[in-house]
Structure 1
């Protein structure tokens, strides 16, 4: 028997035209059970809509996460950039608390001409300031989830994400398998490779519920270039070895589908997962 694996879209389903406060009812009707609210271009959700998401998700047993803005760079050598980044994460945490989000996903930053050790140190200093502001603002219900990133110019290798999560309370990793694949320019591919990733997490962090992203991805020498749908099989990473590894490890998971066909591809992933668990493939 496998543990709970939840699946859902990054953002509203492709054909959904209603208010975000009711999107979880739509997702449940599709037989999916996860939703990542996209605040990637700014946290603009009102308290009313966010609280509606919380009520609707609870009613429909949908696990909710929120993706913070892309414009975050906690590693920047510029004070004003780090200050704005902290404020954007504050906004995401506040909105996340309103909507009952169990993870606040974010990209840590960029190396910005610094060596990797220096950039990571600056990032961690910024996180310390962020947590001071979180406490002062009386935001209590939060879990930040730094994400493995897809470009070699970004802070967010697997080892960097582990170090960040080791260093702070209320931090859990977001493992984006496509980003790892693009960052490593076509690896990993095999079940053993993915087990090595999960084993590294297990050896260094107390994992019970792992938040994951998946898409097929196009990459260059610089890393991530473009997301592709599940049917575009010329692009990796391969899905089945990931699912086999997740089942073998036996934690609880949320898999957020980030393909252009996000909810429709999430259903395809669910079908493949059911076939694997039943022994059909």
Structure 2
């Protein structure tokens, strides 16, 4: 049996003008089957709306994820910044329960004055505190998905994300292939590079390769500088990487179940292009 990859937009589709609680009607109607709810500027959804969104997603068989606020730094130097970051993730986990999000995506932090190893240790300490707070508040159904980050000043290399997910239950990665590409200054050229990423994931993460859990992914064309990520671009701007088709081919060849969230400026339009390319590969 061939694996199933789901595709959808990061946030509400450009062509959708209704209430977010009904967005999955639109997403399913245009032929997509995933949706990443954006809480990037704060967790504002209320419980009643969250439950309605979860029901709407279930009715349409749309897989929902959630992007936690951008203002999170689990390796922060200042104690108040760290406390607010942890609280934002607690808020995200509570809202994710309401909306039925299978992943809570977040950016782990920044190196600042720390070495990468020190920043990673700081992050892990903050995660231990986060898990204690979630337990004390009775929040049980969550899977955090730390994301590979696009700037070289950020905590979130592929190896660091794997390390975090190895260290804690209820943590699975978000692999943003554009971020990996930008952070590595154009390191993804073709299928071999994607295969190396997937082999590293399978070797490093129990359950991701062997159990074929869902690999949560982000994709866009990306412009970068020596410092890393600069700007997202649409799929037709092929002068920017990383390449799309070799990624889809590698996922199929490796037998992965995956969700790919489109982060190009064209959102659902490019998500549909991705899905069509995937179907073309399956039909070869």
TM-score calculated relative to the size of structure 1:
0.98
Counterpart in the other structure of 1:182: 182
Unaligned runs of 5+ in 1: none
- The RMSD of aligned alpha carbons is 0.7
Counterpart in the other structure of 2:259: 254
User: In the aligned structure 2, how far is the partner of 1:227 from the partner of 1:264?
Assistant: 15
Runs of 4+ aligned residues of structure 1 deviating over 3 Å after TM superposition are none
1:146 Cα deviation after fit = 0.2
User: In the aligned structure 1, how far is the partner of 2:232 from the partner of 2:14?
Assistant: 15
Counterpart in the other structure of 1:19: 19
1:30 Cα deviation after fit = 0.7
Unaligned runs of 5+ in 2: none
> Deviations 1:157-186 (Å, cap 9, x if unpaired)?
000000000000000000000000000010
> Deviations 1:95-114 (Å, cap 9, x if unpaired)?
10000000000000000121
1:2 Cα deviation after fit = 2.5
Secondary structure at the aligned position of 2:37 is classed as strand
Q: Aligned runs of 1:162-201 on 2, under 5 Å?
A: 162-201=162-201
Secondary structure at the aligned position of 1:32 is classed as coil
Counterpart in the other structure of 1:83: 83
Q: Aligned runs of 1:198-217 on 2, under 5 Å?
A: 198-205=198-205, 206-207=207-208, 208-217=213-222
> Would you say 1:71 and 2:71 are equivalent positions?
yes
TM-score calculated relative to the size of structure 2:
0.97
1:41 Cα deviation after fit = 0.8
User: In the aligned structure 2, how far is the partner of 1:68 from the partner of 1:28?
Assistant: 24
Secondary structure at the aligned position of 1:145 is classed as strand
